[in-house]
Chain A
Amino acid sequence: MPKQIHDKNVFSLLEVTKSIQKTLSERYKNAFWVMAEMNKLNHYKHSGHCYPELVEKQDGKVIAQLKSILWKTDYLNANDKFLKILKEPLKDGIKILFLAKICFDPGYGLALNILEIDPHYTLGDLEREKKETIQKLQTEGIYDQNKTLNLPLLPQRLAIISVETSKGFADFMKVIEENSWNYKFFTFLFPALLQGEKAIEDIIRQLRRIKIVASHFDAVAIIRGGGGDVGLSCYNNYLLAKEIALFPIPVLTGIGHATNETVAEMISFSNQITPTKLAEFLLQKFHNFSIPVQKAEDKIKDKSLRMIMDEKTRFHSASRLFRSVANNSINQFKNDIVNESKALSHHSYYILKKENICLKTLTADLRKDTKVHFRQSSLLLTQNKREIAKRLPGIIESKTKELKNIEKNINNMSPESVLKRGYSITLLNGKALKSIDKLKKGDVIQTRVLGGVIDSTIKSIDQSDKDE
C-alpha cells in the first residue's frame, strides 16, 4: 500500500517491482520463441545454472540486450541437444532460437527465462558461417593457396600445433617415432587449445610464431584427438581459415572426427582424418622417397653388372673374331708364300734351263770359232816361216861381218899387241901399278915387256907430272 508523505502517494520499491512483476506475469502468461545472439553463456559451474547475455546487433552495434536465466536442468537438456546435433556445446557468441518466458524478480530485475533452445537454428547459423568463410576465401582467391605449396619430398621437420597431454598428440608421436624403418622426424610442439572458442585465438597465435621460424620446418601439423566430434566449429572460423590458407608452408590437419570436414581441413595442404592417419601419411612420404632409392640402388647394381657382362661378352666375341680373322689372314699369307715359292722355283728352273741352252750354244760357237782361229794362226805361221827362210842368208852374212870386225878390235887391244907396240906394264907385288902414289923408295917393282920381266928397286920418285 502506498504511504502518504507530504500529500504524495509514495510506493516502496518492492511495491513497484511487485506491481511490475504482477503486470508482467499477467501480460506474459505464455512462453514464446525468441531469436537472439548469445554474447556470453555465463555458466556457473558451482550451481550449474547459466545467466546468458543476450544481444541483438545491427551493423555491429548492440541495439537490444537483455539478461536471461537458464536453469541447470534446462541447460543440461539444451547442451545435450547441441552436442547431439551440432557436435558443439552451448557456447559464447552463437545465435540461438529459444523458448522463453518473461520473468521479473524484485531482487534481480527483468530477465528472460530460457526454457528450451532449438539447436537446428544454431546449426543453420554455423553452417551459414562455414559457407560464408568458404565464400570469402574463394572471393579473395586464397581458398586453394596452401594446397599450391610444395611439400618437400621428405617432410621431416614438423611444427606441431597440439596439446602435449592429448591422446591425439601421443598417437601421432608414437606412430612417427616408433616406425620400424628407422625414419627420423624432427618435431617441435607449439601448444594450443584445439577446440572451442579459445582455439581460434590460440591456433592463430601459434601459427604466427611458427611463421617466424618457418624456414626450420617443412610443414605444420595441427593435431587434435580425444575430443571426439565436439567443439569443431572453431575450424570454420574465417580468421583461422585465412591464416591457414595464407600460411607460407604446407599445413597438415589431423583433427580427428567423423562429421563433415571443417573449412580449416578443406583448405589445408592435406587433411587426414586422425592424428594416426596423419602420421601414416608422413611415413608414406618417406616410403615414397625410400622405395625409389632402394629400387635405384638395385637397378644400378643390376644394370652395372649387366653392362659389364655385356661388355665382357662383346670383348670375348671380338677377340674370338679377331683370332679367327688373324688365323685366316695368316693362312692366306702362308698360301701366298707357298704360291710365290712355287712360282719362284718354277721361274728359276725356267731361267736355268734357258741359260743352259744359251751356254751350250756358246760352247759350240766357241769350239767353232777356235778352230777357225787356229787355222788362221797356223796359216800365218807358215807364211812367217817362209818369210824368215827367205831373209835368213842376208842376215847371217851381215852378222858374220860385224863379228869379224869385233874380233879384230879385240886382238888389237890384247897385252901382246900393246907390248909389241913398245908399251910396258909395271907391277907392284904382282898387281898392275896404275898410279905413283903407292910407291916409295926401296920398293921392288916388276916391269913386263915383250919377251920378259924386269925386276927393279926404286932409287927415287919424281912426282912432277902428278899435278899436270
Chain B
Amino acid sequence: MSEKISYTEAFEELQLIVSEIEQGEISVDDLSDKVKRAALLIKICKTKLSTTEEDVSKILKELESEE
C-alpha cells in the first residue's frame, strides 16, 4: 500500500465519502475521483483486516533494552 494511513483514518474518510455521496453533495465531476479514493480506502481497510505488520524482533529488542 503506497499510502500510510491508519485504519481509523481510512474508515472515517470512507464513511465521510459515503455520507457525502448519500446526501448528494458530490457532483458528477468529482464522482470519479471520490469513487477512486473510496476504492483505495476500501482496499486499505480490507488489507488491514487481513494483515498485521508487527515486527516481533523489534518488540523483543525493546523489552531487553528496558529490562
Contact = CB atoms under 8 A, between A and B. Distances in A.
Given A183-B49, A185-B52, A212-B66, A300 B18 contact: yes
Contacts of B45: 289-290, 293
A57 interface: no
A292 B50 CA distance: 16
A324 B16 CA distance: 41
A349 interface: no
Interface in A142-181: 152-154, 156-157, 181
Interface in B12-67: 14-15, 17-18, 21-22, 26, 28, 31, 35, 38-39, 42, 45-46, 48-52, 54, 56, 58-59, 62-63, 66-67
A216 B52 CA distance: 11
B15 to A, nearest CB: 7
A289 B7 CA distance: 9
A235 B46 CA distance: 38
A342 B58 CA distance: 97
Contact of B14 (A152, A216, A296): A296
A246 B35 CA distance: 43
B9 to A, nearest CB: 10
Contact of B31 (A156, A188, A307): A307
B22 A308 contact: no
Contacts of A188: 54, 56, 59
A164 B8 CA distance: 32
Given A209-B67, A304-B35, A311-B28, A289 B52 contact: no
A186 interface: yes
B59 A213 contact: yes
Nearest to B53: A186
State the main secondary structure of chain A at its contact with B. Answer: helix
Contacts of A355: none
Contact of A289 (B49, B58, B67): B49
B25 to A, nearest CB: 11
Contacts of B63: 209, 212-213
A156 B22 CA distance: 30
Interface in A299-337: 299-300, 303-304, 307-308, 311
B61 to A, nearest CB: 9
A182 interface: yes
Given A183-B50, A293-B46, A303 B14 contact: no
A369 interface: no
Contact of A156 (B18, B42, B46, B48): B48
Nearest to A315: B28
A300 B35 contact: yes
A127 interface: no
Most buried by A among B26, B42, B45: B45
B52 A308 contact: no
B36 to A, nearest CB: 10
Contacts of A286: 49
B3 to A, nearest CB: 16
B48 A304 contact: no
A132 interface: no
A303 B23 CA distance: 10
B50 A182 contact: yes
Interface string A337-358: 0000000000000000000000
B8 A153 contact: yes
Contacts of B52: 156-157, 184-186
A188 B62 CA distance: 14
A292 B8 CA distance: 13
Given A153-B7, A289-B45, A308-B28, A300 B62 contact: no
Contacts of B62: 212-213, 216
A296 B7 contact: no
The 5 nearest A-B residue pairs measured at CB: A186-B52, A186-B54, A212-B66, A293-B45, A303-B21
Given A153-B7, A213-B59, A300-B35, 17 more contacts: A156-B48, A157-B54, A183-B49, A188-B59, A216-B62, A286-B49, A292-B15, A293-B14, A293-B42, A295-B18, A297-B38, A299-B18, A300-B17, A300-B38, A307-B21, A307-B28, A308-B31
